[in-house]
Structure 1
C-alpha cells in the first residue's frame, strides 16, 4: 500500500501507521540511515526527536520523513513511539554526540575573522585569511594525480565538500594548511606557516539522495579523515557551520539575499572552458548572493529551491577546481565566518556577466551533517 502524508500533519500516530515493528525496546536495529542502533523511546534519541520536529515545521531535508519512517521500530500499547537510535548518537552512550546530535562535535572556536585583512575580487589571498581551506588530491580518467577539488574543515576530523567531486576522481588524500603550492614553507610579512598536512580519508560519505530528483541535487559530501588534523591557533582552524542561522549568525536564511560572500579556492583562473589555468596561490573572490533573472532557470530542476543558493553575476566567479570549496558569510557581529554554501554547479564559461553559479545550501543539509558526524 502506498500513501501520501503532508509533512505539516506528521504525528507519532502517522509514523506508527506508516511503519511496521522491526525490534523490541532495547533490541538491536538499523535506522533510516542504515546505521546500527538500539530501539529506544524517541524522547531519549535527540537526532530522531529533532528530525521529527523539523519535519513538522517543514524545514527537514527532502529525505527526512523517509528516515523517520524507516527508523520506527516499535509502537507500544500506551502509544509510546520507539525508534532505532544509532549507537554513536543514542543518549545511552557516553560520546559527545549523545547530547547534541553532532552539534557537540562542532567546535566553539571556529570561523575567526580577526586574523588578517582581506583582498577583494579574485586576487591572491593573505596567508592567514582562510585557515579552514582543504585541497583534494587524486586521480581520474587515467590521468596523473592532481588537485581536483576543494573542501572546508568543520572539525578536526571532518571536511565538507561536494559529492560530484567523486564522480570521476579517486581520492588519495586531503591537504590542510596549504596556501602556495610551490613552496614548502609559506611566509608573508615575516609570518611563516607550518608545513601543510596531508591526511587520507577513511570514509567518503556521499549524501544518500545525491542525484535523486535531478542530476545535481543534494550535491554535498563529508570526508572523515583517518587521523585528526593538527589544529593551529591561526593557520589551521575549522569554519563555523550554521546549525541555527538566526541564533548563530544573527539573521535569517532569507537575509542571505543581497549579502556578499567570500569564496576561495585553487581552481582555474581562465574564463575559457578549453584552457584551464590553475593558480599557485589560494585565490579569493567576493560574490553577491542574489536571485538574478537567470537564477530561477538554474534552479528549475530542483524540487526545493532552498537546496541551492545563487551567487555571482557581476563578472566574478568560481571555476573548475573550486568545486567543494566554501561560500562564506560572517555573522552579524562580524566575529565569525560560516560556511553557507558549497561550490556546486557553474556556467560553461566562468565569470561572464549576467551568469551565476549554484552553491549547495549548507543550512538546508544541517540535519544530515549533524546525524553523520561521529566522534
Structure 2
C-alpha cells in the first residue's frame, strides 16, 4: 500500500515552490541547454510562471499532458510559443489564452490517457521560431533502442529547486522493460538523468516525430533504474485529427457565412 501511494505521488510530478505553493514545472535532469529556438514546436504553459510543457500541433492547438490541467481553471493559464529564455520577454514569443480543452478518457489515478488538446484563443503565426510538430501515424510503434530527445524547463534535480530559464534537452533511449501498456518509456544508459517534475506535457521526439508526452517518473527523477513514462501519441492520432478537422470545418463554415453576408450587403443593383 505504501509503495503504491509513493508511486501515485511520484506520478503526479508535483513539487513545492519556495513560496509554499504547488508547482507543475521542472527540468530535464542531467541535460544540456538547447540551441535557442531550435525546438520551435515547444510550448510553455504558464500560471504566472512556467509549470508544464506542450507541443504546437496546429496553429490553433497545443498538445500537453492531461494531468497538467487536472483541477485547474484553464482560463487562468497562458500558452507561450517561441520561447527559449523564460526570464526574458523575448520578441519571438507569442502568447495565447485557452479557448477550449479537449480530453480523451484521462484517469488521474494511474495517469492513463494522459493527453489533452488546448484550443488557443487566436492563431499562431508560423515562422522560424514557431512551427507545428510532426505527429506519427495511428498505431505507429517506436522500437526499443530508438534514440529520442526529451525537453523542458525547470529544476536541476530532485533536491535543487532552482529553475533554469533556458530550454533544456536530453538524449534518451526507448526501453520496454518495466514499461506498462499504453506508454512509451525511456532511460539514459549508464547515467542518472531523465525528465523531472513538470517537464510534464513536453514532447518526446524520435526521428523528428513527436511520439510521446512527458507523463511520469518513478523512484525519483533520473533514478538510473526506473524508466520515465510518456503518453504514447500514436494511440490518439485519429482522435487528434478529428478534433482539428472539426475546428477547420467550423472555421470554414464561419468564413462562408461572413462572405455571404458581405455579398448580400454589397449586392450591386
User: With structure 1 as the length reference, what TM-score do the two structures score?
Assistant: 0.54
Are residue 205 (structure 1) and residue 102 (structure 2) matched? yes
In the other structure, the counterpart of 1:28 is: none
Pairs within 5 Å for 1:215-230: 215-230=110-125
Which structure 2 segments of 5+ residues have no match? Answer: 1-29, 249-269
- Where does residue 257 of structure 1 map in the other structure? 144
1:134 corresponds to 2:43: yes
Aligned to 1:21: none
Deviation at 1:290, TM superposition (A): 0.8
Q: How many pairs are equivalent?
A: 213
Cα–Cα, structure 1 residues 348 and 354, in superposed 2: closer, same or farther, change >3 Å? closer
* Secondary structure at the counterpart of residue 236 of structure 2: helix
Superposition TM-score, scaled by structure 2 size: 0.74
CA distance in 2, matches of 1:350, 1:170: 27
Please state whether the residue corresponding to 2:84 is helix, strand or coil: coil
Q: For residues 269-315 of structure 1, what are the alpha-carbon distances to aligned partners after superposition, in whole Å with 9 as ceiling and x for unaligned?
A: 2133xx433211000001111123x33xxx2xxxxx1x111112532
Instruction: Provide structure 1 residue ranges, at least 5 long, that are not aligned to the other structure.
Output: 1-120, 139-144, 186-193, 246-251, 300-304, 331-336
1:354 Cα deviation after fit = 1.0
Mapping for residues 201-350 of structure 1, pairs under 5 Å: 201-207=98-104, 209-211=105-107, 215-232=110-127, 234-243=128-137, 253=141, 255-272=142-159, 275-292=160-177, 294-295=178-179, 299=180, 305=181, 307-314=182-189, 315-330=192-207, 337-350=208-221
Higher alpha-carbon Rg:
1
SS in 2 for 1:210: coil
After superposition, give the CA deviation of every residue in 1:316-369 in whole Å (9 maximum; x if it has no partner): 201112100000011xxxxxx211000011125201111211100000111111
Task: Please give the alpha-carbon distance, in whole angstroms, between the structure 2 residues aligned to 1:179 and 1:348.
Answer: 29
* 1:256 positional shift: 2.7
SS of the aligned residue for 2:32 comes to coil
- Aligned counterparts of 2:219 and 2:120: Cα–Cα separation in 1: 32
Aligned pairs (5 A) from 1:61-100: none
Write the distance in 1 (CA, Å) between the matches of 2:225 and 2:54. Answer: 27
- 2:88 matched to 1:183? yes
- Contact 2:37–2:82 (CA under 8 A) maintained in structure 1: no
